[in-house]
Each structure stands twice: as C-alpha cells, then as structure tokens.
Amino acid sequence: MTDSLRVGLIGSGFLARTRARCWARVHGVAVERAAVASSARAKADEFAARTGFGRGLSVDELLAEESIDLVDLCVPNRVHRELTERAAAAGKHVLCTKPLAAYWGQGLGDDASAESVAAVDRQDMYLRALADANAMVEACGAAGVKLFYGENWIFAPAVQRAAQLQAASNGLLLEMRGWESHSGSHSPYSKDWRHTGGGALLRLGAHPIGAMLWLKRREGLRRRGTPTVVTSVTAEVADPTASAILDGARTAVATGWKGVESWGMAVLHFDDGTRGTVFGSDLMLGGMQSHLSLMGSDHRFECALSPHDQLRAYAPDDGTFGSEYVMEKVDGQAGWSTPLPDEDWSSGQQGLLQAVAEDLTADREPRCSGALGLDVTRIVYAAYVSAAEGRRVELED
C-alpha cells in the first residue's frame, strides 16, 4: 500500500487532454504527472508544455522510465494491445481506454486498404478482437500488473448514485436503454476500420454496454450470488450518410465514413431474461448525448450524463461568452445551450481516475478491470456478427 503514483500518458489528442486535466485533480493520492509520449516527440513536448503534464518523451523512453507506475493509454484502438503488452512487460500497470481491443485488420498486412479490412468476415473479426483482448488480460496477469479498463460511464456520479439507490431497493433491473451519440468524431482515425476497428456501435455504444454489464453484474452478485451476464446479442448497423439521396442536401453531421457504421443498435439478452438496448450514433446534432434509462421492477432512473440542465444559458450570438467552451461536440454559443458546470465530473472521467489511483495505491482489484473490457469487446463483435448475418448470436458461438 502506497499513497503516491507516477503516471505516464501515451497520446496527445482528445482523450489525453481530458486525462491530463483529471489527473491534476485526483485527491488523497499524490499523483505525479511524470511524462507524456506521443506518435512524435515534438507533439509530446508541446503537450507537456501546454498542459503541465511532466515532460515529453518518446514511447520507448517512457516505457523504459523505471519510476513510472502506471501507463495511461490514450491512443487509437489499433495500438491498444501492442502498447499494453509493452507496458506490462516493462512492469507498469495499464489503464487502457475503451474499447479494450478491436479488429483493425490484423493478419492483412500493413498496406491493407480500409475497404479490405471492412470486407473481413465478422466471425473472423470477432475471434481476432477477442484474442487481442484475452492476450492483454493475460499479459498483465503474467507480468503481475493491474489492467484497468477506462470506462468513464461507470464512474459518472449519476450512474454511481443510481447504482447505490438500486442496491438499496428490492428491485430487479428489467430493462435498460442507453445511448452515446453526437454528430461525428473529431478524430480522423475514427472513420477508418484500420484504426478504430468499427464504427458508432464500437466507439460510442461501448460506453452504455460497459455500464449495463457493470450494473447487472453487481445486481446478480447481490441478489443471487452470481453475476448476471449477457448470453446473446441481436444488432443492426448502418451508415445512413452514405445514402445517395443525401447528395446536395445541407448536412451538418459528419460524412465520409470508410465502411464503418455511423449508426448501430444492439439488444443485450441477459441470463435472467432482462434486456438492455444500446445505441451508438454519429447522426445526432446538438452536442454529446449520453443517457442511461434504468427501468427497475420497483424503481426507475434517468441518468443524464450529457447534456444535463444544471445550467442553461442563452446567448444572442456566437462569441457572447468570448472563447468559453460550452460542452463536448458543441462549437457555437448562440441560442439556448447547456454549459456543463464540470463536464469531467459529470461524464465520470474524474471519478474513473480517482478510482484507478485509489485501487492501485490500496493494491486492490480494479473496480473497472480488463475483464469488463474483454466482455464489452466480445459483445460489440458479436453484435457485428448479428448485424451481418441477420440473426441473434449466442455468445458461445
């Protein structure tokens, strides 16, 4: 048991910026923001200077830095496995963001096109992605380091409080509905199977899937002494922006997806007969929409992660509030808006890092572990099989 933690960050993009803010606010554990590495050393130096996150290093240097305890991976899905294995081999604990693993063209060669990756049979994708997720869990186990799965939804205060109230009720969660949606990712990697390994269902739907698995697992353990798990999945995916009819129409949502879906839905069938329905969509204007509805036998919760209306603002024009930020994926200020008072808190990013720091320094089981990430990967790729083959997929398949 220690009370300090030295963190190395890999990546200097969107998530890395969020993590840099959140690591600075962890309390009760002395977190040293030791170093950052990115695809290029210059980017790491610039990130360190801008955010105050230690110093810039190359990835090799960061992994060789003996004093770093935990590596926080904020890099495209394509490199999650490789960097997790390298960090574990270097004796470092790992926090890997969602999705834990993905199919981005393993086995096709470095020059495979986005189209050839997209054409791979979904069963093969399922097996490859799952093999990677398993390998990550095993590598960390063999090295004796912890693998944390970075699912922020679980630590959103709204979800945490709902889970606490649910535990206090007698009720059973009968139906859950969750979605994360916006109008298209900022990341150029996200449009391409070769980097992301899927579309909206993987990139956005992974969040509600993670939260649902976590909630039903807890509920099962509490009510019947065994985790409630998903046994089969039914799903649909599509890219409605590829429609020729869209040509010439005014379009504010992202377009140009390279074979990945911009919309996906999956029905999770739990072994107690209850259901979870998940949506991931890049077709929803109006900023980040993250919501979880929990319909219990004697209760109901509406967890509004984003937006929520703790603060509503009106501005006659863009620029009324200077260059102030409103919320994720909202660029303008004009009209009514919902500036989130503390987005890192309400999204659960802050709570996630607090939990990682506490679990590591207390040397206890991660509250959000690689095993959960593995299950999410399994469900997403089973969903892709279901969507491709038009059938319900049993997870033993």
Binding site for ligand NDP (CB under 6 A): 10-16, 38-40, 43, 59, 74-77, 79, 97-98, 150, 152, 187, 189, 203
Nearer to ligand NDP, 173 or 330 (CB): 330
Q: How far is the CB of 300 from ligand NDP (least distance, A)?
A: 26
Residues interacting with ligand NHF, by CB under 6 A? Answer: 180, 185, 187, 190, 203-204, 207
Radius of gyration of the chain (CA): 20
Q: How far is the CB of 180 from ligand NHF (least distance, A)?
A: 6
Nearer to ligand NDP, 16 or 209 (CB): 16
Phi-psi region of 94 (alpha: psi -120 to 50; beta: other; left: phi over 0): beta
Backbone angles phi, psi at 377, to 5 degrees: -60, -45
- In the block, tokens 């987005």 appear at 343
Nearer to ligand NHF, 84 or 290 (CB): 290
Nearer to ligand NHF, 14 or 314 (CB): 14
| Contact in structure between 264 and 199 (CB atoms under 8 Å) | yes
Q: What is the DSSP string of 156-204?
A: -HHHHHHHHHHHHSS--EEEEEEEEE-S--S-GGGGBHHHHSS-HHHHT
Q: Pick what 38 binds: ligand NDP, ligand NHF, none; C-beta below 5 to 8 Å, kind-dependent.
A: ligand NDP
Collapsing DSSP to helix, strand or coil, 27 comes out as coil
Collapsing DSSP to helix, strand or coil, 1 comes out as coil
Q: Pick what 13 binds: ligand NHF, ligand NDP, none; C-beta below 5 to 8 Å, kind-dependent.
A: ligand NDP
Nearer to ligand NDP, 83 or 387 (CB): 83
Q: How far is the CB of 67 from ligand NHF (least distance, A)?
A: 30
Nearer to ligand NDP, 372 or 393 (CB): 372
Q: Pick what 293 binds: ligand NHF, ligand NDP, none; C-beta below 5 to 8 Å, kind-dependent.
A: none
Collapsing DSSP to helix, strand or coil, 313 comes out as strand
Phi-psi region of 54 (alpha: psi -120 to 50; beta: other; left: phi over 0): left
Q: Pick what 59 binds: ligand NDP, ligand NHF, none; C-beta below 5 to 8 Å, kind-dependent.
A: ligand NDP
